[in-house]
Structure 1
């Protein structure tokens, strides 16, 4: 049985020696882009490969893109194959922020490329270490596989599609409330949000222990904004298309399947000063 949303530390530990399972460490710090790699070198789940958000899970930034453009599918497929990920591989992604940076991004990217057997470690590395499970500093010896990308571009929206979003569809902004309202902006040069977007910060998908809330609680959380709308009418946004994947994952855990990603998100939206900017609560 493929794992397609979340996996517990105990289940992952039981499969560490399974040759068809590949673990990927996705730790990243926006303020210190090499911090995740250093943390990986200091200690990681045995057998894990390291995925760098900027280098592996994004394309180069241009004058019109956001901070983390979607990677070229062929280039990402080559990287995945070099990590030993093939068509039958169960992939497990983890970070140290409950999946927000950047395990959920890898989860979404693999689904975009047609690989459904990917899950995020619930609670991330803190859950693993709380359970007393081992860390390693060895870099694994990897048998490369052939990964064939079959991107489904129905899963994400361009900025032009967001500008033309029908009134019955719902844009959810995953950033913190203060950034959404435009009261502060620590990363991007313009503060505020896309007009019409509603705010649903990713942090509230998690319980105090850093694990996802139960599916029923997540469903209630999203249903409060969806109302009678089907899940497929929801589009997720954030600062650069990374933490928005966490809300998308949370909806899948809740059984609300079919929502999509605005991949460029706020940092792409503000590249054109002619695009409107909203501030305040809504």
Structure 2
């Protein structure tokens, strides 16, 4: 079997050291943003920080584009914080994940819900611009991550997100819900939306379609 997708998680200890090099410690109040207008990269980093036990971590709604539109002060050039010796009380990723075998069994079990957050045309197999095989995991439902956003590229209100996801989940337990995308990045956008809407964070399938499609399931 071909293991892993296009964007696997780094080694846990390496990531902890990287946080220290970035000037982050376990008590830091971390605000993350990107310039993708949908907070994709920021959402993955948010998930990773939450998964190592970071308490105070937030994502700037709308990212750099929103900051510029709202006339936030913006500067150019490099900036770095003094390095820290990041210490973690845990020894591995703490947010729920599933592997290929678990997703296979879940796809055959009606008690589980697999959510594919890619755009509709990729889910339907009409187009596949990145991976070698088009289509979707059997019995996965499509809820594109873009549906988390309003027309201005901002997250919809927690109340609207809560209602939309309640309709999708149909009372399924968080431990029986699996989110995936192409490579484990944009799925975190939907997990961030769920957290924002007051849900318990369900499972992430990090390998996502890029791993599944490389294996004969």
- Normalising TM by the smaller chain, what interval? over 0.9
Specify which of 202, 211, 217 is matched with residue 160 of structure 2: 217
- Counterpart of 2:181? 238
CA deviation string 1:23-68 (max 9, x = no partner)? xxxxxxxxxxxxxxxxxxxxxxxxxxxxxxxxxxxxxxxx532110
Higher relative contact order (CA 8 A, sep 6+): 2
Tell me how far 1:123 sits from its aligned partner.
0.8
Structure 1 match to 2:136: 193
1:110 is the counterpart of 2:53: no
> Once the 2 structures are TM-superposed, how far is the Cα of residue 231 of structure 1 from its aligned partner?
3.3
Residue number in structure 1 paired with 2:100:
159
Q: In structure 2, what is the Cα distance between the partners aligned to 1:236 and 1:91? A: 25
Cα pair distance change 1:133/1:258, threshold 3 Å: closer
Distance 1:154 1:117, change over 3 A: closer
Tell me the TM-score normalised to structure 1 length. Answer: 0.72
Shift of the alpha carbon at 1:230? 3.0
Are 1:79 and 2:18 counterparts?
A: yes
CA deviation string 1:178-228 (max 9, x = no partner): 000000000100000000110000011011111100001001111121112
Give the alignment's Cα RMSD to 1 decimal: 1.5
Is there any run of 5+ residues in structure 1 with no aligned partner, and where?
1-62, 276-282
Q: Give, in angstroms, the shift of residue 153 of structure 1.
A: 4.7
Kept after mapping to 2: 8 A contact 1:234/1:260: yes
Counterpart CA distance in 2 for 1:154 and 1:135 is: 33
The aligned residue for residue 120 of structure 2 is 177
User: Structure 2 CA distance, aligned partners of 1:105 and 1:86?
Assistant: 18
Q: 1:81·1:147 contact (CA, 8 Å) conserved in 2?
A: yes
Partner of 1:208: 151
Note if contact 2:22-2:80 (Cα within 8 Å) is conserved in structure 1: no
How far did residue 155 of structure 1 move?
Answer: 1.2
What is the CA deviation profile of residues 43-96 of structure 1, one whole-angstrom value per residue up to 9, with x for unaligned ones? xxxxxxxxxxxxxxxxxxxx5321101111111111111001001001111112
SS at match of 1:102: helix
* Matches of 1:121 and 1:154, distance apart in 2: 21
CA contact (8 A) 2:23 2:80 kept: no
Answer whether contact 1:99 1:121 (CA < 8 A) is retained: no
1:138-170 per-residue CA deviation (whole Å, 9 max, x = no partner) reads 322421112234223551111111112243121
Change (3 A) 1:250 1:154: closer
Q: CA deviation at 1:100?
A: 3.8
**Structure 2 CA distance for aligned equivalents of residues 202 and 148 of structure 1:** 33
Pairwise CA distance, 1:240: 0.1
Aligned length: 212
Which runs of no fewer than 5 residues in structure 2 stay unpaired?
A: none
